[in-house]
Amino acid sequence: MQSVVSFERDKRIFGDLATADAHALAKAFEARTIAKAQHLARQGDPDAKEYILLSGKMVSLIGDAEGREVCVGFFVGPCVITPNLARTAGATSLVSLRAETDGHAASVDATGLLDLMRGSSAIEDWANAVLRAELARKTSREWSLAALKAKERLEWFRSVYPDHETLFNHSQIASFLGMTPVTLSRLRNPGGE
């Protein structure tokens, strides 16, 4: 199984943290294997964890009472998953985090990460940078949904997530972009009716 410590120098996860801080942070995370369709968190369930996707693909979904799901995030390991603060309310998950492939993930209690942040200004800066980056991604998506036409949203998606069209289910991409799968298909193949 992959260990988080093996990723401690990976800038996609730990940025520019000094070796000692990256090592301390990596040691706090517990790694495990995840199977395709397995959830790290489920919407409506308690969730007090921070997650790193070490390998594989994952989506963040919001479901409704009729069972419809809207994709609100894509993750390709290795990467940090949306911070707990930005995906929970009252210690309850607002989203489901579902693996789209087999892979490996790691978790730490959010309070454990807070303790590490209190003990190291570098780790605190890293965590704040992760949160700022996530808020920037969410703001960018929100703006594109509100301000861009469907074709422009697809162009925005391709510029921000250049490989994701080949990595993720097109119905998830369509929901992420606020359009139907049929609309996405027509935009992807403008001459093929």
The pLDDT assigned to 192 comes to 56
Report the C-alpha gap between 73 and 126 in whole angstroms.
21
| Overall pTM surpassing 0.85 (yes/no) | yes
Tokens 């703006």, located at residue: 143
- Residue 35: Cβ-neighbour burial (10 angstroms; 0-12, 13-18, 19+): exposed
Q: Show the low-confidence residues of the chain (pLDDT under 70).
A: 1-3, 192-193
Ordered by where they begin, the domains of the chain are 4-120 (2.60.120.10)
The residues near 6 (Cβ < 8 Å, ≥ 6 apart) are none
The Cα-based distances of 176 to 11, 135, 138, 142 in angstroms read 26, 16, 11, 10
Helix and strand numbers, DSSP H then E, in the chain: 9, 10
